[in-house]
Amino acid sequence: MFDVTQVGSWPRSEKLLRALEDRRNGRMTRAHFDRIADEDVRRCIAAQTEAGVDIVVDGEQRRDSFVSFVTEKVEGTKLMSMEETADDKKAFEQMLKAADVKPGTIRNPVCVGKLSRRDPLAVDEFKFVRSLTDLPVKIALPGPYLLIRTMWGPKFSRKHYPKPTDMADDVVRILRDELIELRGAGCEFVQFDEPVLTEVVHSGKAQEGESFSRTFM
Amino acid sequence: MATRRDAGSELKFAVDLVNRIVEGIDGIRTGVHICRGNWSKQDSVHLSGDYEPLVPSLSKINVQQLVLEFATPRAGDFGIVGRNLNNREIGLGVASPKTEEVESVEYIVGKVEKALEHYQPENIFLNPDCGFGTFSGCSITTHEAASAKMKRIVEAAKLLRERYAGRAERKVGEAAA
């Protein structure tokens, strides 16, 4: 009872932030990056073990963000800054400023082709944590609605999926396969992140087409 | 086709997606996390509003646990969730990932005791409101602050276990009788 755990992400070290940037710009190999990220995951697990939590997370240290990391794993996606995907750049930059978002700091996965799971999304993350601790592990995955809302944009996606809802079957398949594989690997807890549900009811911006460029939660 | 869809059909679409993913899958705990944004230390720039408009949809999601914000007043009254969604586990947000100041044990225990008005102790999980570093481009807190908050949540959980261990055991005894 009263099991203590976390929601997912953990602050990344300066070294890891630089490595993420190098990796994004193609200046660092996956193997080199993983060695640096492994260190930060160890640090994150150590902090949780020392605190005495009941269920650990890996702190999403390997991810650019809780959602954008899928571009490395899912066929048909591309990582873009929100400025790149906005229709009206000036209005969009003003909106970001009002929301206290520094320009260029939040990137989204954008659907640019037929979606399929090229690599498991988080099975490797799970296996590394399992090698460090016997505590139950929670893995956070972007929820299906979040993925569809962030990935679909008329300019880039319409050719492959005329409407956001047309992505449903492929997104469900990707996440269901991942859930089954994580269970098979021994993961105890999978959490789907659906932050934009509050945007639907509290911002009045649940509009198809427009949603894509505004979603940054 | 930029037709405005009402929130109801949008939420139904979202719930159906999750339910299709988890359908028939057991042997692993599944949960859904919802928040109002987590990209800035400035609390006021995030969305605000209680869970009321989400209750009809959330009550149809077939996952074991809802992981929800409650450390921020922007999440509204706990009773809305407590009264309507207590047939599953709650991952109760008891600390803010956006502030440096570490919540006190009393504050965390107070949040949990509010939840205990509606939930059995074994169905209450304690967590921060959201991740401590959602986007790599805008880290909202430090390793040290996050560690201190997790320690404090564990401290509160220990106290709560001492205080409420009997309640869960009694419940089991009653069920057996």
Query: Is A94 at the interface with chain B, CB within 8 A?
Result: no
Evaluate if residue A200 carries a pLDDT over 60: yes
Mean per-residue pLDDT of chain A: 89
Within a domain: B12: no
Inter-chain touch B29–A203, beta carbons under 8 Å: no
Q: What is d(CA B19, CA B23) in angstroms, rounded to the nearest whole number?
A: 6
Q: Which of A158-167, B18-27, B42-51, B92-101 has the lowest mean pLDDT?
A: B42-51
Within a domain: B3: no
Quick: pLDDT tens for B24-52: 999 999 999 998 877 777 777 778 788 89
Within a domain: B10: no
> With b meaning 16 or more CB within 10 Å and e meaning fewer, what string describes B73-110?
ebbbebebbbebbeebbbbbbbbbbbbeebbebeebbe
The CATH number of the domain where B94 resides is what? 3.20.20.210
CA distance A65 to chain B (A): 5
Within a domain: B2: no
Within a domain: B121: yes
Q: For residue A54, what is the nearest residue in chain B, using CA coordinates?
A: B154
Range of B70's domain? 28-176
Q: Give contacts of A6 with chain B, Cβ < 8 Å.
A: 127-128, 131-132, 150
Q: What are the residue boundaries of the structural domains of chain A, listed by start?
A: 14-78+109-214
Residue that has been written with the tokens 């908050």 in this structure:
B149
Within a domain: B21: no
Please indicate whether residue A187 or residue B39 has the higher confidence score (pLDDT): A187
Long-range residue pairs from A209-212, CB within 8 A, at least 24 positions apart, any chain = A209/A153, A209/A154, A209/B1, A209/B2, A210/B2, A211/A149, A211/A164, A212/A85, A212/A149, A212/A150, A212/A151, A212/A152, A212/A153, A212/A154
pLDDT value of residue B72: 85
Q: Give contacts of B37 with chain A, Cβ < 8 Å.
A: 195, 198, 217
| Number of structural domains chain B divides into | 1
Query: Is A172 at the interface with chain B, CB within 8 A?
Result: yes
CATH code of A14-78+109-214, in short, is: 3.20.20.210
- Out of A11-15, B39-43, B76-80, the most confident range is A11-15
Alpha-carbon torsion (B71, A70, B146, A99), positive or negative: negative
Within a domain: B13: no
pTM of the model: 0.91
Residues sharing a CB contact under 8 Å with residue B140, sequence separation 6 or more, in sequence order: A11, B38, B39, B40, B41, B97, B98, B132, B133, B134
Question: What's CA B120's distance to the chain center, in Å?
Answer: 15
Evaluate if residue A85 carries a pLDDT over 90: no
Inter-chain touch B137–A106, beta carbons under 8 Å: yes
Quick: pLDDT tens for B123-177: 999 999 999 987 776 677 899 999 999 999 999 999 999 999 877 655 544 544 3
pLDDT value of residue B170: 53
Inter-chain touch A198–B36, beta carbons under 8 Å: yes
CA distance A73 to chain B (A): 18
Question: What's CA B28's distance to the chain center, in Å?
Answer: 19
Q: Give contacts of A47 with chain B, Cβ < 8 Å.
A: 143, 146-147, 150
pLDDT value of residue A216: 52
